[in-house]
Amino acid sequence: MTEARKRRVGAGLAAAALTLTLVTACNSTDESQTPSEPEAPMTEHDLHANTDEDTPRTTASVDEATTITIRNFSFGLPDSVSPGATLTVVNEDSVEHSVTADGADLFDVDVDAGETVTVTVPDEPGTYSFHCTYHPEMTGVLTVG
């Protein structure tokens, strides 16, 4: 065998050994590491689930008589509010919501997760049904009087 051929064969064997070493290293597991389970696909419930660790919390104190609090996909409402009053809307959930009157353009406000916004209620006394445009199953009735 010629010297050049010996070098090529040697280089080929070295490359094969390196490839085998790399494949073995990549396929071996360290005893101290536990293989992770594959993650399950997210469901609609997962997207809207609120846990203590992923739910933003507001730190400012709120006046419950003039505040709508959104928590766990439901509205916490004051008993009644004065006509034309400004309400504070506090979203303690981890997703965006809205407070949207069922009637023609009476009030409509979006509130991002963990945010606080204000909305002005109608000037006329009465009861006003509303909903969340993002989650239509979320409904409430605001009493203005």
Q: 134 and 64 in one domain? A: yes
**Average pLDDT, integer, range 62-85:** 90
Residue 10's pLDDT band (cuts 50, 70, 90): low
Instruction: For residues 12 and 64, state if they share a domain.
Output: no
Q: Which of 122, 126, 134, 138 is nearest to 69 (CA)?
A: 138
Q: Do 81 and 140 have their domain in common? A: yes
Alpha carbons 117 and 3: distance in angstroms, whole number: 82
More confident residue, 91 or 15: 91
Q: Are residues 20 and 88 in the same domain?
A: no
The per-residue pLDDT for 2 is 54
Cβ contact 130:103 at 8 Å = no
What pLDDT, in 10s, does the model give residues 81-139? 999 999 999 999 999 999 999 987 899 999 999 999 999 999 999 999 999 999 999 99
Determine the residue type at 35: P
pLDDT (0 to 100) of residue 131: 97
Nearest to 111 by CA among 137, 87, 83, 145: 87
Residue ranges of alpha helices (H) inside 55-113 are none
Q: Is residue 121 part of a domain?
A: yes
User: How much is the pLDDT for 65?
Assistant: 77
- Residues 69 and 133 placed together within one structural domain of the fold: yes
- Better pLDDT: 125 or 57: 125
The lowest-confidence range among 5-9, 18-22, 96-100 is 18-22
Strands 116-120 and 86-91: antiparallel
Q: Which two tokens stand for residue 94?
A: 């981890």
pLDDT digits 0-9 by tens, 34-49 = 444 445 454 444 444 4
Distance CA 117, CA 64 (A): 14
Q: How many angstroms separate the CA atoms of 120 and 17, rounded? A: 75
- Domain extent for 22: 1-28
Task: Specify whether 8 is located in the same domain as 71.
Answer: no
116-120: strand order across its sheet: 74-76, 67-71, 86-91, 116-120
Q: What amino acid occupies position 49?
A: A
- Give the H/E segment covering residue 63: none
CATH number of the domain enclosing 138:
2.60.40.420
72 belongs to a structural domain: yes
Name beta bridge partners: 131.
Answer: 100, 139
